[in-house]
Amino acid sequence: MFKRVIKYSNKHFSLFKSIEDITDLRQKPQISSADISTSILSILLSNLGSLNRFNQARNISSVGNIAGRIPSTSTVARSADTIDLNRLREILKSIYLKAKRSKMTQPFNGRYIGIIDGHEICSSDLHRCSLCSVRNVSKIEGVVKLNYYHKYTAFILAGQKFAFMLDIEPIYPLEGETTSALRLLDRVCINYPKAFEAVAGDGLYLNGATFGLLESHHKYTIAVLKDETRELYTEALALSKTTKPLVYEDEGITYRAWDHTISGLWDGYNKPVRTVRSEETKTVRHHCQELGKWDVQEERAEWMWVTNLPPVVDLKNIISACHSRWQIENKCFNEIVSTWNADHVYRHSGNAISAFMLFLFIALNIFNIFFARNIKDKRIRSKTLLIDLIKAEYLLARWVRPIPV
Ligand SMILES: [Zn+2]
């Protein structure tokens, strides 16, 4: 299966051709950045989880490093310290463009929505670098116990079967998520001008700077409204109490939804905005203590959002777009940590952490497309089984070059 996924990457995305011109700043390197990038992609695609496992896998190979092109773990680490992140972003973009042209990506419920959020990638009480953020985690008064961590903002495209990972940006020490997010949003709007029409974010993104920046790139914004002290919140709530909701059902959930256009209540953004409120009810069954019987419970949730999407986008569509925001939790952050070991620090330096994350995005986009479109064997239903099959073949391969095919 490892050979199949590599072949697929080359056939559809020219992956290993596109990494040939990757560079790093090592002086007189014996092993090229391209060979190192090949090794990194192999490590990630076969989900080895650490450079140590890579070292062990290298030793299992009965042929060994006869061509002198398979890097040691320390060479991989040193290269990652200075590898060119912009080139990695260009490769991500070329994969996206090819996937879009070949209709391998699909919109989410008919709309192309970008999602942004911040996430902590790793933390340690011991290991740190010059770009670590730091916090006091002591539970004892007067005692200082420091914890070092890295955070970043990520941008993905919501999709029907899978989300497409587009870019990340570090949140540097002493800066807030919004500062990093504005850099990231500006870059993805320039690099992907036609990839999405609106961007969804949590309550942190309900600020004039985000709405203004995206508007300057001709994009709309959707942000969660949960701050009860905001005038927008009280006004939207009051208006919904005096008007009839739109009531509809979708995939077992009953929606009661309100949509109001409000002007003049938000200093940060001077134009009218739509506030959307949605009460959502679904019936869920739990196993009852009595064998073979079920407990039936009603679950209710309530949401409010603010958006500048135009009136032509109807309320049902807006609510679907708002909920696509969960994909960054479920299909990005949770999945890359639980399935792909993304919280493992392969090399602790600011550049290396970003590089491994961008390499992981490259590998995951291809893997997700491969899983959705190329696996016809009905027994391979889960990604974890597919990963196991890829890993097994990789571990047993005879290596003479960085890529054992
Ligand atoms: Zn650090």
How far is ligand 1, taken at its centre, from the CA of residue 179, in Å?
Answer: 19
Separation between Cα atoms, residue 122 and residue 149, nearest integer Å: 6
How far is ligand 1, taken at its centre, from the CA of residue 170, in Å?
Answer: 11
Those residues of the chain that have pLDDT short of 50 are none
pLDDT for res 222: 96
How far is ligand 1, taken at its centre, from the CA of residue 20, in Å?
Answer: 29
pLDDT for res 96: 96
The residue among 355, 79, 325 whose CA lies nearest residue 221 is 325
How far is ligand 1, taken at its centre, from the CA of residue 130, in Å?
Answer: 6
How far is ligand 1, taken at its centre, from the CA of residue 143, in Å?
Answer: 23
How far is ligand 1, taken at its centre, from the CA of residue 101, in Å?
Answer: 38
pLDDT for res 297: 87
**How is 33-74 classified by DSSP, letter by letter?**
HHHHHHHHHHHHHTT--SHHHHHHHHHH-SS-STTS-SPPHH
Token pair listed for 322: 């708002």
How far is ligand 1, taken at its centre, from the CA of residue 122, in Å?
Answer: 9
**DSSP symbol at 325:** G
**How is 88-122 classified by DSSP, letter by letter?**
HHHHHHHHHHHHHHTT-S--BTTB-EEEEEEEEEE
pLDDT for res 404: 54
Token pair listed for 63: 């042929």
Separation between Cα atoms, residue 198 and residue 224, nearest integer Å: 14
CB 370 within 8 A of CB 390: no
**How is 166-208 classified by DSSP, letter by letter?**
EEEEEE-TT--HHHHHHHHHHHHHHH-TTS-SEEEE-GGG-SH
pTM of the model: 0.92
How far is ligand 1, taken at its centre, from the CA of residue 349, in Å?
Answer: 6
How far is ligand 1, taken at its centre, from the CA of residue 146, in Å?
Answer: 13
How far is ligand 1, taken at its centre, from the CA of residue 133, in Å?
Answer: 7
How far is ligand 1, taken at its centre, from the CA of residue 247, in Å?
Answer: 50
Domain ranges of the chain: 1-88+347-405
How far is ligand 1, taken at its centre, from the CA of residue 173, in Å?
Answer: 10
Separation between Cα atoms, residue 98 and residue 14, nearest integer Å: 10
pLDDT (tens digit per residue) in 359-389:
999 999 999 999 988 888 888 888 889 999 9
CB 153 within 8 A of CB 181: yes
Residue type, 187: R
How far is ligand 1, taken at its centre, from the CA of residue 39, in Å?
Answer: 23
Long-range contacts (CB closer than 8 Å, 24 or more residues apart) made by 126-130: 127/345, 127/348, 128/348, 129/348, 129/349, 129/350, 130/350
| DSSP helix/strand/coil, 152 | strand
Residue corresponding to tokens 């709530």: 237
How far is ligand 1, taken at its centre, from the CA of residue 263, in Å?
Answer: 44
pLDDT for res 95: 96
